């Protein structure tokens, strides 16, 4: 540690030892990033088109030998266009960020330009990462929002889907929690649409989880 003049002493003539600096960073929530649920794929255009092919699967009846065969139902096909959100973020380095500013953890040294720039770039990157996590979490709910809470897309409306909600009634005595869980599982199974699953992973709030296990 380095001996420095103590600025907190009334006389200003005593010495103190400068310890290592503490850099307090806000929480960075990356649960969805850790799971790897969303795959990143870059595009070169400002919009993307999703083509939907609606298959038809039905049971076939029997007919008398030599009778006319049943005719297949025509499958539907549609396309949807989505404009990509534009989320720019800028920052600047002003003379006041460097002039007269000591480096973090160094009492007698100026804060170099490269340190200030790296610190700002790191903060900007964390803001973008947190914004992406927030948008992905809302996308799982079917409604994409930006950092200001503005709804960009409601996938239930865009794809003509009915939103399924299950009220667990956790604050009500005598609620059949297991029955509510089975209701959720069966709703997922009924809407797989040709896909298969081995398990269900639910992301819930801390308040919901506390009530669920209480």
pLDDT at 146: 94
**How is the chain split into domains, by residue range?**
26-51+75-163, 164-214
Q: Give the closest residue to 91 by CA, choosing from 57, 114, 125, 44.
A: 125
**Quick one: what percent of the chain has pLDDT higher than 70?**
91
- Inter-residue contact 34 to 50 (CB < 8 Å): no
Q: Over the chain, what is the mean pLDDT?
A: 86
Window from 31-45, 92-106, 141-155 with minimum mean pLDDT: 92-106
Distant-in-sequence, close-in-space partners of 81: CB < 8 Å, separation ≥ 6: 47, 48, 49, 50
pLDDT at 121: 93
Joined tokens for residue 46: 């400002």
Average pLDDT over residues 47-73: 86
Is the pLDDT assigned to residue 5 strictly greater than 70? Answer: no
- Inter-residue contact 117 to 82 (CB < 8 Å): no
pLDDT at 192: 87
The span from the CA of 70 to the CA of 29, in Å, is: 55
Is the pLDDT assigned to residue 54 strictly greater than 90? Answer: no
For the stretch 84-141, pLDDT in tens is 999 999 999 999 888 877 777 776 666 788 888 988 999 999 999 999 999 999 999 9
pLDDT at 156: 94
The span from the CA of 103 to the CA of 202, in Å, is: 45
pLDDT at 125: 93
């Amino acid at each position: 540690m380095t001996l420095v003049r103590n600025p907190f002493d009334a006389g200003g003539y005593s010495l103190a030892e400068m310890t290592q600096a503490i850099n307090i960073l806000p929480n960075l929530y990356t649960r969805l990033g850790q799971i790897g649920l969303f795959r990143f794929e870059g595009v070169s255009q400002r919009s993307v088109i999703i083509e939907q092919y609606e298959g038809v699967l039905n049971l076939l009846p029997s007919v008398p030998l030599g009778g006319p065969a049943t005719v297949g139902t025509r499958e539907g096909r549609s396309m949807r266009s989505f404009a990509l959100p534009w989320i720019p973020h800028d920052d600047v380095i002003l003379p006041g960020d460097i002039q007269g500013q000591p480096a973090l953890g160094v009492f007698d040294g100026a804060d170099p330009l490269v340190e200030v720039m790296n610190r700002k770039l790191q903060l900007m990157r964390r803001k973008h990462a947190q914004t992406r996590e927030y948008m992905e979490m809302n996308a799982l709910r079917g409604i994409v929002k930006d950092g200001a809470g503005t709804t960009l897309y409601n996938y239930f409306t865009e794809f003509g889907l009915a939103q399924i909600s299950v009220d667990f009634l956790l604050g009500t005595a005598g609620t059949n929690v297991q029955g509510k869980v089975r209701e959720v599982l069966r709703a997922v199974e009924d809407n797989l649409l040709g896909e298969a699953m081995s398990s269900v992973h639910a992301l819930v709030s801390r308040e919901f989880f506390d009530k669920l296990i209480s």
